[in-house]
Amino acid sequence: MCELDTNECLATGLQTTATVDPAPATFSNTIAPFHRGEICLPLEVESGSSMPVLMRPCMHPCVTVSSFEFRHTFECLGSSCDALALMWMNTSGSGCPPDAFGSFDPGQCVYGTEVEFQLLTETSNGPIRGNMRLEVPFLSNEDAATIAADPSNNDAIDQLVHQYPQSDGRVPNGQSVSIQNSHPTPPASCRDGACTCFPIGF
C-alpha cells in the first residue's frame, strides 16, 4: 500500500497463498475463485484474430464443483494491453484439510473443470499490434462471492483485483502475448494439445 503523503510503499501483509485459511472441514454453496491450475493459450497471435484461452483450475480432491462462471476483460493504452481472466466456482466439500483452498501438494490436484473462451485482438480502433499481459488475478473466496453476486459490475471487479499486487506467477509463462501481423493465426480451440499450457499460482 502506498502512502501519497510520505511517498512510501509498505507491505500490507495480504494473504495470497490461500483463498481462505483455514478451509472449513465441511461446507456447501461456497464460491471459490481460480487460485491455482493451468492456463493454455498461444503466446504469439496474428493481429485481429480471436485468441483461444483454456483454463483448468486445480481443486483439492475433497472439493466438488457444481457449477462455474467466468469473465474476461482487457484494455489497451497504445500498443500495450492488460487483460484479466476470472473464473469462479460453486463448491462443496467434506472432510477437507485446512489447506484445501491453499497450497496443498500439487500431486493432489483434480482438474475436473475447465472453461474456454476467446479473447479478441482488436478494439474499436482496429486490430491490436503490440503486447497483451494476461493475468489470472488472486482473489479470496469472499472476493469471488462478491463478483459472483454482480459479475457485470466492472468497478467492483477492478477494486477487488487491484487490492492485491500484480504477480508474474499469475501470468502465463510470466510473459505478455505478442500480437503482430506476422504471427500465425491461432487455433480455434486450445483443447487436445493445440496450445501450450502453463502453471498458474504454484
Average pLDDT over the chain, rounded to whole?
93
Is the Cβ–Cβ distance between 35 and 20 less than 8 Å?
no
Instruction: Look at residue 2 in the predicted model and tell me its pLDDT.
Output: 64
pLDDT > 70 fraction of the chain, expressed in percent and rounded: 94
Angle at 22 between CA 164 and CA 137, to 5 degrees: 25
Distance, CA of 169 to CA of 166 (rounded, Å): 9
Question: Does the pLDDT at position 8 exceed 60?
Answer: yes
- Could you say which DSSP state residue 55 is in? E
Q: pLDDT-derived band of residue 78, with 50, 70 and 90 as boundaries?
A: confident
Residue 3 pLDDT > 80: no
Contact present, 113 and 68 (Cβ < 8 Å): yes
Q: Residue 56 is which amino acid? A: R
Say what the pLDDT of residue 62 is.
98
Report phi then psi at 94, rounded to 5.
-145, 135
The 10s digit of each residue's pLDDT in 95-110 is 999 999 999 999 999 9
Instruction: Please say if the pLDDT value at position 61 is more than 90.
Output: yes
- Per-residue model confidence as pLDDT tens digits over 111-127: 999 999 999 999 888 99
The Cα–Cα gap between 54 and 72 comes to: 12
C-alpha cell at position 197: 499450457
Average pLDDT over residues 13-41: 94
Q: Decide if pLDDT at 9 tops 80.
A: no
Report the distance separating Cα 197 and Cα 200, nearest Å.
10
Residue 17 identity: T
Cell 477487488, located at residue: 160
What pLDDT does residue 110 have? 97
Q: Hey, which bits of the chain come out as E strands? A: 2-3, 8-9, 27-33, 37-40, 44-46, 50-57, 63-77, 80-93, 115-120, 122-123, 126-127, 130-135, 177-180, 197-200
CA-to-CA distance for 99 and 19, rounded, in angstroms?
9
Cα 13 to Cα 18: distance, rounded to the nearest angstrom? 13
pTM of the complete model: 0.88
User: Which tens digit of pLDDT belongs to each residue from 117-170?
Assistant: 999 999 888 999 999 999 999 999 999 999 999 999 999 999 999 989 888 999
